[in-house]
Amino acid sequence: MKTFLYATDYSLQAVAALRLAHLMAKKFNCKLIVMHVFDIPLTLSTVSVSHIQKEKRLLSENHLKLREFYTQHLGDTWEDSNIDFIVEENVSVVDAIMEKATEFDVELIVLGTKGASAIKEFLLGSTTTGLIKKAPCSVLSVPEMSKLETFKTMVYATDFEQADIFAINKLVKIANIFNAEIRIVHISSKEEYAGDQQMEWFKDMLLQKVQYGKITFDLIFSDQIFEELNRYLDKSEANLFAMLERKDNSFVQRYLQKDLVKKMVSSITIPLLSFNTAGL
């Protein structure tokens, strides 16, 4: 990995994501882009001199504020690091981040969530959701209460798809840096046919294409998908939950109505790593 992008709104909820983005950039020895997007209300003509002057002033002020935000929480480490500070004016935070992600060939976008649960925010709609669905790369959303210094256990929820293998291969790159265990789990209703056979097939196929010695597999049958997921993440002491976004058919969304997960996932306070099929 060569370039990560961290986006912030200067809020305290974004600090945990900043620290994790900085840690991962150091581990991978890659460039870190620290970005802020602001919007100027259109009270003036967009071509007026006053608007242009205001935009220049806000660009300058935000560049300074962005550096101050970084320094406040991480010190002056940016002076000797491979870090770029970028400020953009755009009515759409998602579009601005995506443009820079494409321009700089970013491989991972990191941002904070305003609630305790990254998965809950994904379900309820946010900038995080927009990026997960549209970004040309992986997206790591970090809950405000996260205090990670390392990853020890990563959980990936599989649906036995070919694209899962490509996503897990990307996850292995992160796991390898942290020497973390990857636990691959499939949780489905008891009515699912031949789940054990599917797991064995997927396991054989994965191990032929992914080389990593710390991968385990778990198959769980339950009619309470997310209640079981909460228990599994807690029992495995997971530091990261990863999934594949599949154009309105992600692991999370497929069971949204069935399990009333808006209430259940509120206790999941670990970072959520989403792989978009477009970026695989």
Q: What would the pLDDT profile of 161-184 be if each residue is shown by its tens digit?
A: 888 999 999 999 999 999 999 999
Q: Are 3-143 and 153-279 in the same CATH fold?
A: yes
3-class DSSP assignment, residue 200: helix
Mean pLDDT value across residues 131-139: 83
Classify domain 3-143 by CATH number: 3.40.50.620
From 157, 124, 280, select the one nearest 209 (Cα to Cα): 280
pLDDT score of 20: 93
Superfamily of the domain at 153-279: HUPs (3.40.50.620)
User: Do residues 31 and 84 lie in contact, with contact meaning Cβ atoms separated by under 8 Å?
Assistant: yes
Express each pLDDT in 230-264 by its tens digit.
Answer: 889 989 999 999 988 765 555 555 544 443 334 43
pLDDT band at 69 (very low <50, low <70, confident <90, very high): very high
Mean pLDDT confidence for 97-116: 87
Q: Rank 45-54, 149-158, 243-252 by mean pLDDT and report only the highest.
A: 149-158
H or E stretch at 130: helix 127-134
Domain spans of the chain? 3-143, 153-279
Q: What are the distances in angstroms from CA 192 to CA 81, 187, 221, 230?
A: 50, 10, 8, 20
Sign of the CA dihedral running 34, 40, 41, 45: negative
Averaged pLDDT for residues 266-277: 77
Segment 77-104 shows an average pLDDT of: 86
pLDDT of residue 28: 92
Q: pLDDT tens digits, residue range 172-219?
A: 999 999 999 999 998 887 666 666 788 888 999 998 999 899 999 999
Of the candidates 261, 243, 227, 221, the one whose C-alpha atom is nearest the C-alpha of residue 155 is: 243
Give CA–CA dist 55/70, Å, rounded. 22
- The whole-angstrom separation of Cα 206 and Cα 212 is 10
> Does 54 score more than 60 pLDDT?
yes
pLDDT at site 24? 92
Instruction: Band the pLDDT of 124: cuts 50, 70, 90.
Output: very low
pLDDT classification of 269: cutoffs 50, 70, 90: confident
pLDDT of 128 reads 73
